[in-house]
Structure 1
Amino acid sequence: MGDFNAVRRPEERFNSVFCRRTARDFNEFIRDSGLMEPKMGGFRFTCFRDADAKLSKLDRFLHSPCFLDIAFNVTVTTLPRELSDHCPILLSNSRRNFGRPPFKLFSSWMLRDGFEKAFITSWNNFVGFGTPNQYLAAKLKHVKKGIKEWRDTDHPKEEVELRNHKLVVERLDHEAEKRNLTEVELEQRRDNFKKVVEIEKFKALDIKQKSRIKWAVDVDENTIFFHGYVNSNNRKNGIDGIMINGN
């Protein structure tokens, strides 16, 4: 459809002129034909003119009511436009909810205090029955639950501990600008700074595992850099489903 007859409402244009007459004709055509437009997610506008920064919603799906009889879970998503000035729009008939995410065990957890105790306690306290494979599956599930409960308790404590250590270092740094620190204060600063580095190193290990990339230098611990990779991967690797032979 051309630029003039594909826009239905004023909010579907930004920084460009809305033509009420052509929009009225287009809406009347849709109404007289008995067509419906599914709600669109993703980007609000589908066309971006680089020359004058004009945005419009020019691309859309229209369907008849009977289409919902065979595609009752239909969704429309506007994808990134990348090299084109138009965004591709995806019509899907699948549910976006694929259940709870799988349990992930981070390698750094095994280096933290309390992990070994939580694992051994959950392993030894399990009571079950069934065939050997059913027994093992149930036992591993029980251990997973114990580890998650430990981590749910340990993580908030770790955040509070990190914040307190940073406050001590910050306070002593302010004092050092006014006077010479005593040997006790210097030792206190070294101990707290060491704790900050230790906890931040655990966080860097988690980010490294999340990002699933190979560090160019294994000792690089720039957490902002790896947060960027994590966020980028989350945007790029989101998959709602896979089409195989038309299914």
Structure 2
Amino acid sequence: MGDFNEIVQVEERRGTDTLPLSAEDFKNWRHDMGVVDLPITDCKFTWFRGRSCSRIDSVLASLEWLEKFSETRMRGGPRGFLRMVKEEWRGLGEAQFTDKLKALTAPLGRWHKNNFGDMNKKIMKFEEEIKKIDDMVGDGVYDGTMETRRKAFVTCCEKWYVRKELHWKQMSRSRHAKDIDKNTRYFHNLASARKRNNRIDALLINGRLIRNQARIKIAIRDFYKNLYHREEYPLMGFRDGSVEMIGEDDALALEVQPNLQEIKEAV
């Protein structure tokens, strides 16, 4: 994914009737790499300068990846950052560039708070709603909308976990020396949260609902112990007379590498 600074169709650049010579090279490169371009679902162009518009940003994926993630959709992000910069710099005139950067401190702080502020509270809120639904189902209260609501809460919770993870990864790039301990604790907490999500709180065993964690562990252990236990069978050795020893020629024949014709016939 990135800015390839190239188009492959005339429709991808406003006011263009012909493709540049480099477009053919870009097409051939994509073909040789075995990748395809994901379509954008909500906008036509990704780059703007005055009246000029182009789609030079692309996401290239292999066919194997598309088969595994067939429901993937791509959409263009808002162009709000440049608009915010222009609004903040409009009255600064010929001020020094460092002063212009300082002027962005407050609006960037507000943007950061709106997009990444109180992430823990939002995640906790969704987790509490999920737990409420699970408790209601456990108490025998269930209707058709509960599963839909639970899926919606889980989806929102997962999105905030991803946003939080990306946020801290980005912070670690810019301030890794200062916040390395904080990042380590975060990823440890993230792993613990995933462990909690994967925890089995209840198990139906022979028609009986079990919630005790110790009993659940014993039941799971016994299940797999019975599933993979070793069957009892009489031991038999080669010296019992049931198996004849092959001759030396046959033994050597078993170690001979197969030739090409034998491989073709087997295939």
Band of TM-score, shorter chain:
0.3 to 0.5
- TM-score computed with the length of structure 2 as normaliser: 0.32
Please say which structure displays the higher CA radius of gyration.
Answer: 2
- TM-score computed with the length of structure 1 as normaliser: 0.34
Higher normalized helix content (fraction of residues): 2
The one of the two structures with greater contact order (alpha-carbon pairs below 8 A, sep at least 6) is: 1
